[in-house]
Structure 1
Amino acid sequence: MEQRLKMARIWLANPSTAHQWTHGIGGVLLYDDILDVRFYFDASEMFELKLCSSDVTYLNMIAVMETQGFSEALLDQHQFREALLNLHITQERNFRYHRNSDQRIIVECNQKNCNFFMVATVIKGETTFVIKKMRIKHTCPTSTETTRVSAKWLAQKYESLFRSDLTTGIQTLIDACMEKYGVDVPKSMAYRAKNIAIDAVLGDHKKQYPRLKDYAQTVMDTNPGSRVVVITVTSTPTEKIPHPGPRFHAMFYCINGAREGFLKGCRPFIGVDGCFIKLTTGAQLLAATGRDGNNNIYPLAFGIVGQEDTPNWCWFLHQLKICLGGEEGQFGPYTIMSDRQKGLLNAVNAVFPKCNQRFCLRHIYANFQNAGFRGEDLKKCMDNAAYAYSEHKFNIAMNDLRAECQEAWEWLCQIPKKTWQGMHLTQTARLTL
């Protein structure tokens, strides 16, 4: 296609009746003084688009090739209608169907004096549509007052926006359509388009749950040694539902490659935390990550549960403990860092009692601020105390904090030093900072 497009431009700049290709595989015939073009793309050239016996000039042929939609295969009438719609929205014009059937489509411009028309029919014995005749150039002025832009079309064109960011606002959609196509989209249409695009990106979540066990088995078949656990529960029978089926309860996911890489090449550090899954089901995601030799985050295991509480954390950490083979690796006991969430602390103490616990300094400082202790001076004192590796430097930092604010010093002293202060860490835990 690119070579023929380049050739068409050359012929347009240097018109001659001598230009012709003989018939053969993908034969193309160019002839006569008015530069009438008859061209046919054979299937052997990997093109399913067949444009034959067309009354098209070189200029129109270039326009056809460059127009989005017509440069690809027109598999059937649906793809032809879609390409026709894209063409007219891009050109800020409108069209009407003179005839619209599965076998033959004839379209013309909405303006009476415009020369645009197109005739397309299906090839006998196939579903491929062929453009028989057309004048693709409009002679009418552009207009965006009567446009064929719809919510469905907007959703298809800007689906990529919502794939990258589901929180994309409708104003962004309206501005993008105005900038690219010159069409002022109503807010109601933008809302509908956003909902259609989000449904296409996320799909129906509830319909995916019955396939989780199939997915788990596929992971274990393709990644031997992986651990994927899916737990279901059965509700109590009621009058309305006498025979309830199994319902999803929790899922644990750890690929063998990630597990082996953590055990053999990562530091003995595990960070655990949870977050909400922004889906219609309202589940929560539990995650366990490590630190590699470059201090980068190393994904280790994930879990999906209904809520972040002690029983669910205990179940998740128990599955993680099975994957790791115990509470110690080849470099010694693991150091587990968390955000001081009560349910998580209880679960760590129950499942990993021999492991060192660390609290995330960022979360401690956030709680410190929420308690009413704000300011750069207080933060500097806390940082100096946290990163002090000698008793002398630690005491200096704490005395400075006490001099700044007695209440802040008392609040910080309530947190065990061994969970956040570098001086009280073991040698193995220090290596994991």
Structure 2
Amino acid sequence: MAGVTVIKSEFESVKKSRVESVRKSNFQSVKKSKNETTLKGNLQSIEKSVEKSVVHSVQKSVGASVENNARGGGSGVHGCDEGLGERFDDNDEDGSYIPSCEEEETDDDMDAKELVSEDEEYTQARLKKKKEKEVFVLTDDMFHEIVNGGQQSEYVSEYENFEEEDIYSDSTDFEEEGRRARDRHARARDAITDNVVENAWQIHLKRASKKHVEAECREPCKWRCYGSRVNKSGDFIMRNVKGVHTCPGKYMEVFRLRPQLSYKELGLDLMQRYAFEDTRWRLYHAKKKSIDLLRGSVEEHYSKPRRYIHELDRADKEGRFEHVDVGVVFKAIYICFSGLREGFKEGCRRVIGLDGAFLKTYLGGILLSAVGTDGNNQMYPISWAVVEIENEVCWSWFINILRRELNLGEGVRITIISDQQKGLENAVKNLIPLAEHRNCARHIYANWKKTHKGPALKQLFWKLVRSTYMEEYNLACKELEKEDGQAFADLMDKNPSKLCKDFITPIQCSDSIMNSVCECFNAYILEARSKHLIDMLEEMRTRLMERLYKKYVDIESYESTSQSHLCPKVKKKIEAMIYESRNCTTIPAIGGRFEVNHFEDRFVVTPSLKQYGCRKWEITGIPCIHACVVINYLKQDVDEYVHEYFSLSKYKVAYGYSGITTVPGRRGRGMGRGTRT
């Protein structure tokens, strides 16, 4: 009986130890219970099941021990210990576990109510955090499947591997699945950001993990939103949105109407309207994000040149539109409308200004342009192109197309004005070698004055380059050399034959030594150069189209009210010279020649030959002050001696062609869609 009593006490100890062991091994499953009643039922089920299993094992062990004692194999507690130890070791092979009879530190001293109270606290915490999840109940069948035989059950809770189901799939490419999960998370954040920029809200991402996104608006606005990832698809869903925005309003329409609005003006407007101040970095990127939403990304723009050229070809079938791609990489695009080409050939002087300007986007690029001069001495755009870089290859490609379009040949009776860009000079020399090539005096002076400063040198420089006849040029050279010999030597190294009026041939009726028409063109499209490719080209086209229309309407209005056949600016210039001619005296001579004295200067003028000593009439096509005195002396009209390039008829011819044609937009005729074949 003593052995049976010991066995009963050991049975109670083993029972408690077995219950505690199973409870710990299944704690992850049991802890998901959300209901105290379910938890107590699970614990009672565990206790009963373990009790049956342990009783069965102990009964067998007691029988084996009694039989062993009967055979003399041992007695008392020692025999029982050996029998239990052997029996439990055999079951270890099956994976079961029963602790030894030795004392261990356990929760044996705690009763069932105290154990339940600890799990109840944990359950209440889980209930507060996960209210929407279903209650997981560990049934008796599940428990027996775990306990019987000591085998680990293959059953897995629906919620046990929640994260693994979302991130991993049957595919073995875990990196690809992880990348997709990160992409979904990034798209969720981008959606919130786009909404923020569109409505000018001050949103802060409070939490942005792989499974959750939580955002809130800044004080005092009470707006909040919460989103999480869907279990199966992995997409993010905004599950809860609270409050209504009370923060500053929308700015998308402001940027739509005023895209040139600077971040400084935006900051001042926010401060004035809402007493809200933000950093320059945030203001700059808010504007950039708004512009991208309105105009599209850079990738979208540089994927559309082919379709854009197709639309231009459809609208102007006689124009010249080309684009160059290397594989899928954009390299260049050339645009020349037939109306501009024919207007230049028929109504303008054969003087072309060539220049390149930087694009103001972060990708960079160069805008090449060819600009002429109309009868009113204003710019007349001919063609333009966008290239990667300004070098000899790009300029040769541009000038070669321009030469074929304008029938320039080798450059006979053609004048080119440009800066001293080396690649441009080589391209002009190789493709149109017989053209008169002038260098912009303003660019040369900007480089020359870096080492030769001072108002005296500046005055002497411009006196030299504006000399129209040889005597005046030689006198200016002597004065500059006397003032600063090194400055004079450096200027002579710049090849003065390309920048002084004294060396200009009297063919083109233009004494321009500065590339002012190209500078005007670049300033006119300054805002457009800060946009992406397609938007820039479209704004250039629309602005120039509107300008051509206004020029034609204005000249018709001027013609109906004016009695002169000359363009307005030329007429105004002649009137100023006629007024200044009061300081001149005229002495006639036999043979139609006249001596004209203007202060200390004296010149010989022959009106019938349109010749005079200062050469201004010859190189400009407009009578100078000396010629105006002689023409008035002969009682004739000065306007009749002006070259026809400055007449209203030529001006109307230049602007009378179709100019720049209209082009439908993205929705008008599918500029944003693929073209049909």
> Which TM class, normalised by the smaller chain length?
0.5 to 0.7
2:429 is the alignment partner of 1:349: yes
Alpha-carbon distance in structure 2 between the residues aligned to 1:185 and 1:417: 54
State the partner residue of 2:259.
163
2:383 is the alignment partner of 1:287: no
2:330 is the alignment partner of 1:248: yes
TM-score, with length taken from structure 1: 0.59
Aligned runs of 1:268-307 on 2, under 5 Å? 268-307=350-389
Q: Is the 8 A contact 1:290 1:298 kept in 2?
A: yes
State the partner residue of 1:220.
313
Larger displacement relative to structure 2 (394-403 or 199-208): 199-208
2:470 is the alignment partner of 1:423: no
Number of residue-to-residue matches in the alignment: 286
State the partner residue of 1:72.
none
**How far does the alpha carbon of each residue in 1:61-113 deviate from its partner, in whole angstroms, 9 at most, with x for none?**
xxxxxxxxxxxxxxxxxxxxx99x9xxxxxxx97889xxxxxxxxx999xxxx
Q: CA deviation at 1:425?
A: 1.1
State the partner residue of 1:24.
none
- Residues 196 and 230 from structure 1, CA distance in 2 versus in 1: closer, same or farther, beyond 3 angstroms? same
| Structure 2 residues not aligned, in runs of 5+ | 1-197, 202-219, 225-241, 513-677
TM-score, with length taken from structure 2: 0.39
Q: Is the 8 A contact 1:337 1:360 kept in 2?
A: yes
Aligned runs of 1:23-102 on 2, under 5 Å? none
Alpha-carbon distance in structure 2 between the residues aligned to 1:190 and 1:210: 29
- Residues 296 and 177 from structure 1, CA distance in 2 versus in 1: closer, same or farther, beyond 3 angstroms? same
Larger displacement relative to structure 2 (156-165 or 273-282): 156-165
Aligned runs of 1:125-164 on 2, under 5 Å? 147-149=246-248, 153-154=250-251, 156-160=252-256, 163-164=259-260
State the partner residue of 1:358.
438
2:272 is the alignment partner of 1:179: yes
Q: CA deviation at 1:408?
A: 0.7
State the partner residue of 1:367.
447
Alpha-carbon distance in structure 1 between the residues aligned to 2:477 and 2:348: 33
Q: CA deviation at 1:404?
A: 1.1
Q: CA deviation at 1:295?
A: 1.2
State the partner residue of 2:106.
none
State the partner residue of 2:457.
378
Q: CA deviation at 1:187?
A: 5.0
2:301 is the alignment partner of 1:208: yes
Larger displacement relative to structure 2 (196-205 or 299-308): 196-205
Q: CA deviation at 1:209?
A: 2.1
Q: CA deviation at 1:192?
A: 3.9
- Residues 201 and 428 from structure 1, CA distance in 2 versus in 1: closer, same or farther, beyond 3 angstroms? farther
- Residues 263 and 431 from structure 1, CA distance in 2 versus in 1: closer, same or farther, beyond 3 angstroms? same
Q: CA deviation at 1:148?
A: 1.6
Q: CA deviation at 1:172?
A: 2.5
Alpha-carbon distance in structure 2 between the residues aligned to 1:322 and 1:159: 42
Q: CA deviation at 1:305?
A: 1.1
Alpha-carbon distance in structure 2 between the residues aligned to 1:215 and 1:357: 34
Alpha-carbon distance in structure 1 between the residues aligned to 2:280 and 2:436: 55
Q: CA deviation at 1:183?
A: 3.4
Tell me which amino acid in the other structure corresponds to 2:484.
C
Q: CA deviation at 1:378?
A: 1.0
Alpha-carbon distance in structure 1 between the residues aligned to 2:284 and 2:422: 41
- Residues 286 and 314 from structure 1, CA distance in 2 versus in 1: closer, same or farther, beyond 3 angstroms? same
Tell me which amino acid in the other structure corresponds to 1:407.
Q
Q: Is the 8 A contact 1:232 1:248 kept in 2?
A: yes
**How far does the alpha carbon of each residue in 1:160-180 deviate from its partner, in whole angstroms, 9 at most, with x for none?**
586125xx23x3212111223
- Residues 288 and 206 from structure 1, CA distance in 2 versus in 1: closer, same or farther, beyond 3 angstroms? same
Aligned-partner SS, 2:259: helix
Q: Is the 8 A contact 1:327 1:355 kept in 2?
A: no
Q: Is the 8 A contact 1:231 1:251 kept in 2?
A: yes
State the partner residue of 1:64.
none
- Residues 210 and 313 from structure 1, CA distance in 2 versus in 1: closer, same or farther, beyond 3 angstroms? same
Aligned-partner SS, 1:333: coil
Q: CA deviation at 1:268?
A: 1.0
Q: CA deviation at 1:320?
A: 0.7
**How far does the alpha carbon of each residue in 1:286-325 deviate from its partner, in whole angstroms, 9 at most, with x for none?**
1111111111111111111111111111001001111102
Q: CA deviation at 1:202?
A: 4.8
Q: Is the 8 A contact 2:248 2:274 kept in 1?
A: no
Q: Is the 8 A contact 1:272 1:336 kept in 2?
A: yes
Tell me which amino acid in the other structure corresponds to 1:363.
H
Alpha-carbon distance in structure 1 between the residues aligned to 2:282 and 2:398: 44
State the partner residue of 1:266.
348
Q: CA deviation at 1:396?
A: 0.9
Aligned-partner SS, 1:210: coil
Alpha-carbon distance in structure 2 between the residues aligned to 1:426 and 1:149: 65
State the partner residue of 2:23.
none
Tell me which amino acid in the other structure corresponds to 2:260.
S
Q: Is the 8 A contact 2:349 2:509 kept in 1?
A: no
Tell me which amino acid in the other structure corresponds to 1:262.
F
- Residues 390 and 410 from structure 1, CA distance in 2 versus in 1: closer, same or farther, beyond 3 angstroms? same
Aligned-partner SS, 1:427: coil
Larger displacement relative to structure 2 (190-199 or 259-268): 190-199
- Residues 218 and 403 from structure 1, CA distance in 2 versus in 1: closer, same or farther, beyond 3 angstroms? same
Q: CA deviation at 1:415?
A: 2.3
Greater strand proportion: 1
- Residues 406 and 197 from structure 1, CA distance in 2 versus in 1: closer, same or farther, beyond 3 angstroms? same
Q: Is the 8 A contact 1:270 1:336 kept in 2?
A: yes
Aligned-partner SS, 2:370: strand
2:462 is the alignment partner of 1:397: no
Aligned runs of 1:321-340 on 2, under 5 Å? 321-327=403-409, 333-340=413-420
Alpha-carbon distance in structure 2 between the residues aligned to 1:187 and 1:147: 23
2:194 is the alignment partner of 1:194: no
- Residues 320 and 392 from structure 1, CA distance in 2 versus in 1: closer, same or farther, beyond 3 angstroms? same
Tell me which amino acid in the other structure corresponds to 1:163.
P
Aligned-partner SS, 2:481: helix
Aligned-partner SS, 2:303: helix
Alpha-carbon distance in structure 1 between the residues aligned to 2:509 and 2:281: 57
Q: Is the 8 A contact 2:349 2:508 kept in 1?
A: no
Tell me which amino acid in the other structure corresponds to 1:149.
P
Tell me which amino acid in the other structure corresponds to 1:233.
V
- Residues 176 and 270 from structure 1, CA distance in 2 versus in 1: closer, same or farther, beyond 3 angstroms? same
Q: Looking at CA atoms only, which structure, 1 or 2, has the larger radius of gyration? A: 2
Alpha-carbon distance in structure 2 between the residues aligned to 1:108 and 1:411: 73
